């Protein structure tokens, strides 16, 4: 049987989380006897390094034309000046590597569909994010453009599907919902449950509350700290962990502002910054409560990882998080950006270990039923095989 050659276009090279981690999990769980992968990214970095670790044979780097989350006139001009060059680069890879299917990973990649269409190669856009949807006029333009240049649009949540249909109703028949999944074995085998708690001198009475993700405004660490300030007025046994790092000057400024707030309230003993870790399973195992304090999310991977380790979740009810968390069953959903509600939810769980335990068990059950990597790969490969006949 001839292998199916797939080109994945990835828009950034930041630490291997979010969409990059999703690609890595997918490739590592796909049958190598049936599919081979080529990947292209804007430059060398975390993503390309991970692809080499997974023995991806053909890895390309090129300053491809990627839509930024800020629509400044300079960036828009730069984007369009580079667009045609990016199309031609992709066309050359398609020809040289005998590519059968192109996957544009996120809505930030528009040129992949154009290149594929010009060469009559099947194309999929895989939506992992909801940033394309604001402002609405941009969301409508992007959705329409991608729909016209994609055979299938895969989205990770029903929430994204609903947004896209609101923008372009006729795109409905092209949209397929495929939830992200995790490799459960990585959260059950070779775990060091105590290492994290020992590292930070946590005792049995401490409740470790953590939030995980790149340090930036979108991830909402400021709201997490504000909630922590209120919690600590009532409960000194909570220790708050912020796991992640800033990756740009703007994010570094945000990080410094967070530190200034902590110093202002003299709570540095109870709020700990931890750099991005490779042993995230052990980190999650050492935490008691996981908080998603983001301002914007689609379908965060860390929620699934926490559920796999039987950790209760508290999250702002944004994006597709309601598809992960059944309120009151495996976690608590909170009104977006409501610091007092977030504080109350943390205290509610911190004061009820039995409730934390039961929510954790329910979370593990939901992951096993709905969010395993095997489900994700089966659903995606069915789509791939449908397009490449």
Residue 129 has pLDDT above 90, yes or no: no
Q: pTM of the entire structure?
A: 0.91
How far CA 153 is from CA of 128, 178, 252, 280, 342, in Å, comes to 11, 10, 35, 31, 35
335 contacts: CB under 8 Å, gap ≥ 6: 316, 317, 341
Instruction: Indicate if the pLDDT at residue 198 is higher than 70.
Output: yes
pLDDT at 72 over 80: no
Q: Which residue has the tokens 């489900």?
A: 375
**Looking at the DSSP assignment, which residues form a beta bridge with residue 209?**
240, 289
Cβ-contact 219, 250 below 8 angstroms: no
pLDDT mean across residues, the chain? 92
Q: What integer pLDDT is reported at residue 69 of this predicted model?
A: 59
The pLDDT confidence band at residue 19, using thresholds 50, 70 and 90, is confident
Q: Say if CB 231 and CB 206 are below 8 A apart.
A: no
User: What is the distance in angstroms between the CA of the first residue and the CA of the last residue of the chain?
Assistant: 12
pLDDT tens sequence across 276-304: 888 889 999 999 999 999 999 999 999 99
Average the pLDDT over each of 2-16, 45-59, 142-156, 332-346 and give the range with the smallest value: 2-16
The residue count of the chain comes to: 389
75 has a pLDDT exceeding 70: no
Cα separation, 25 vs 22, whole angstroms: 5
pLDDT at 332 over 90: yes
Question: What is the token pair recorded at 127?
Answer: 């939506």
Q: For 29-41, give one letter per residue: b (16+ CB within 10 A) or e.
A: ebeeeebbbbbbb
Structure confidence at residue 270 (pLDDT): 96
Distance CA 364, CA 311 (A): 8
Beta partners for residue 239, in sequence order: 208
Domains of the chain: 4-181+372-387 (3.40.50.2000), 184-370 (3.40.50.2000)
Mean pLDDT of 331-352: 97
Band (13; pLDDT cuts 50, 70, 90): confident
Task: Report phi then psi at 303, rounded to 5.
Answer: -60, -45
In this predicted structure, the answer to whether residue 133 has a pLDDT above a threshold of 80 is no
Question: What is the C-alpha separation between 93 and 115, in angstroms, rounded?
Answer: 10
Q: Each residue of 135-187: pLDDT tens digit?
A: 788 889 889 999 999 999 999 999 999 999 999 999 999 999 999 999 998 88
Residue 68, pLDDT > 70, answer no
pLDDT in tens, 225-234: 999 999 999 9
Task: Indicate if the pLDDT at residue 108 is higher than 90.
Answer: no
Answer for the pair 54, 28: CB distance below 8 angstroms, yes or no: yes
User: Cα(384)–Cα(380) distance, rounded to whole angstroms?
Assistant: 6
Tell me the pLDDT tens digit for each residue of 223-269: 999 999 999 999 889 999 999 999 889 999 999 999 999 999 999 99
Percentage of the chain surpassing pLDDT 70? 96
Q: Cα separation of 221 and 127, whole Å?
A: 25
Return the pLDDT at 45: 86
Residue 2 is classified by DSSP as P
């Amino acid at each position: 049987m001839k292998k199916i050659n797939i080109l994945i276009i990835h828009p950034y090279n930041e630490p291997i989380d979010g969409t990059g981690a999703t690609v890595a999990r997918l490739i590592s769980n796909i049958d190598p006897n049936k599919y081979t992968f080529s990947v292209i990214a804007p430059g060398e970095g975390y993503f390309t390094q991970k692809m080499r670790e997974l023995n991806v044979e053909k890895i390309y780097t090129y300053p491809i034309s990627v839509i930024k989350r800020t629509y400044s006139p300079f960036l828009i001009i730069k984007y369009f000046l580079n667009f045609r060059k990016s199309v031609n680069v992709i066309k050359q890879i398609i020809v040289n590597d005998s590519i059968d299917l192109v996957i544009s990973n996120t809505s930030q990649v528009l040129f992949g569909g154009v290149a594929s269409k010009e060469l009559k190669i099947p194309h999929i856009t895989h939506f992992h994010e909801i940033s394309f949807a604001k402002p609405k006029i941009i969301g409508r333009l992007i959705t329409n453009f991608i729909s016209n240049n994609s055979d299938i649009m895969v989205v990770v949540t029903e929430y994204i599907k609903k947004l896209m249909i609101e923008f372009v109703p006729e795109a409905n028949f092209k949209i397929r919902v495929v939830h992200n999944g995790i490799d459960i074995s990585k959260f059950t085998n070779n775990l060091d449950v105590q290492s994290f708690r020992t590292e930070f001198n946590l005792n049995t009475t401490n409740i470790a509350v953590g939030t995980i993700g790149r340090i930036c405004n979108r991830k909402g660490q400021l709201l997490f700290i504000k909630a922590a300030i209120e919690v600590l007025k009532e409960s000194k046994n909570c220790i708050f962990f912020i796991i992640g790092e800033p990756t740009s000057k703007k994010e570094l400024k945000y990080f410094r502002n967070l530190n200034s707030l902590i110093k202002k309230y003299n709570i540095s003993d109870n709020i700990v910054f931890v750099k991005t870790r490779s042993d995230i399973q052990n980190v999650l195992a050492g935490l008691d409560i996981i908080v998603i304090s983001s301002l914007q999310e689609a379908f965060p991977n860390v929620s699934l990882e926490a559920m796999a380790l039987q950790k209760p979740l508290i999250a702002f009810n944004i994006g597709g998080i309601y598809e992960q968390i059944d309120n009151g069953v495996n976690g608590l959903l909170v009104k977006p950006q409501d610091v007092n509600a977030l504080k109350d939810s943390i205290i509610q769980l911190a004061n009820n270990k039995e409730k934390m335990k039961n929510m954790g068990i329910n979370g593990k059950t939901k992951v096993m039923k709905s969010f395993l990597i095997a489900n994700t790969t089966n659903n995606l490969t069915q789509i791939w095989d449908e397009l490449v006949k």
